Structure 1
Amino acid sequence: MSNFDLTIHESDHKKPKPQTDQIAFGRTFTDHMFMMDYDTGKGWHDPRIVPYEPVTLDPASMIFHYGQTVFEGLKAYRTADDRILLFRPEKNLQRLNQSSDRLSIPPIDEEEVMGYLKELVKLEREWVPETDGTSLYIRPFIIATEPSLAVAPSKTYIFMIILSPVGSYFPGGIHPVQINVEDQFTRAVKGGTGMAKTAGNYSSGYQAQAKASETGNADVLWLDGIEKRYIEEVGSMNIFFKIDGEVVTPALNGSILKGITRTSILEVLNDWGVPVVERKIAIDELYEAYQAGKVEEAFGTGTAAVISPVGELNWQGKQMVINNREIGPLSQELYDTITGIQRGNREDAYGWTIEL
């Protein structure tokens, strides 16, 4: 299969583009979507770009019963000189295959799918908003479609890519968030699906998020599922702490998602010569460092926000106010650097962006 096999059916009814200040995350979708099918014995086939529309599935489709699905999230950005840039999309496709392997889903050809993704975004380039802080969110995903109630991997799948223009994650600027440290519910354990980007990982966190919201917290900091002691990640973000001049982030252990932004931040910090280490860090160790006045900054990293500074952590009735609830200088410079590269305002010395 090659990109020349791609068929494109353009929509006859184009939707009106939303005003930038009226875009809610994940509520508005573009005119077209990408689809490709998989059948055992035939492999992935029939790549096509079609008008965005509902999908019809058999009620016995295995996605509904056993949750065999994976997804990704990345963005396209419009530069000041009207170019369209993708940020490290090859990393997302690599991770999609890693997630698929864990969920027993057949791998995609990353090079071919990259070509299909580019063609879809090119077709929808007018949907990429131009206001600073906005972007076109890209959601590739795979679902199991075989109509069967047998507990076994599906023999058929659909791979799709849908696009959604999104506004600034931080209207009015970056504001440090308040986070609750979760010590009751478990997000993932080593050997489970925590390192995969799959649907159940997110819905199983809703109760913890609701509990956090009831006490005024914006998100949840997950601890390990065995001892409820070691820090893992925040909701849909990885977590970093600057402690006594050194940046610390939990080491990937099989239950933590390998974030694309996390990887980029580590590379930038190493390039800047900032001491940074990936290791196990316990919540009580962090609290002791806080009491000693050594916790200088904390921030989450992810595709949606890039950098989300943490102004307060709440753990077992103990309150940790970080940097007077203000964004720290390192967090700010990292945010400016990554977003500057993504939007073409700063030199991409790392070769991370792909221009369409």
Structure 2
Amino acid sequence: MSSTTAESPLVTGEEVESAAQVFERMAAAIGTAARCAPATVRLVLTAFAAGGHVLLEDLPGMGKTTLARALAAVTGGTASRVQCTPDLLPSDITGVTIFNERSREFEFHPGPVFANVVIVDEINRALPRTQSALLEVMQEKQVTVDGKAHPVPHPFLVVATQNPVELEGTFPLPEAQLDRFLMRLSLGYPGEDAELSLMRGLAPASPEDLAAVLDGAGMARLVGVAERVTFAEPVYDYVLRLAQRTRRHPRLRAGVSMRATIALCRAARMHVLADARAHVTPDDVKALAGPLWGHRLVPLSGAATAGETAELLDDVLADVPVPPPFGNRR
């Protein structure tokens, strides 16, 4: 039994091929500016197309901001940047209403969240009340100031960064905030050839010089195609059983939320589409479990490291059998 219906026809081979080519062109363009692993670039593109947000947890100087700016350029969108500090106020992010003496009316002055790609650098340096200012806009795609809702542009993506080893003067993100991020990724060090090129002064392309590959309307069409990718009932059941296993794991205080299971299904469709396929398999679920669920797990020991959550997820994936016809139940 498939998840598609008569009202949602199966995706065609031509649509799949066209979507995969778009992803390939965007990834190639970003790769000329951001020197990071192609797999990471594709994951960030998948998150953006799936309507999710990304937390980049890495050391300084790895190209996190460059990657986000390049993403905005190839999708024909606008980009803004917020440098988080302890004195940053929520209104510095969302915007503020100011009284206009000339018109004798209050006017809303939008903050930096009113862009297609919002780069929030060192998010864990902001005070918790400022971090919480992002909760509404990340979930609802709007901010409410003085009782009035203001929608942000579409598509909308928050790319937040944090340094995983520097703890002084930082405020760890609470579980509710982490759950708003579709993926947590690490860029890692560039390859030897890429780093040698940078050392020799062979600068990569500037993100601002990249041509747009896709606009908002094109992104909407891409999402429409992804929604018709086949997601068989046994794969839905597999995702659910994995989630339930995280909620019952003896070393976890909290497993993944319902938001996490829905997000994985949505991202999996976009993931296979980018790979020129039209069917989600358990292998796709396994490939996305780390980036999508790792930061949502809460171990009994307290704050989790990426290595610890990766180990716990490996246990979960090993414990839950792959359903037929993809595998044999134990």
Fold-level similarity (TM above 0.5) = no
Range class of TM-score, shorter chain: under 0.3
Q: Which has the higher strand share?
A: 1
RCO higher in 1 or 2 (8 Å CA, sep ≥ 6)?
2
| TM-score, L = length of structure 2 | 0.26
- Structure 1 length-normalised TM: 0.25
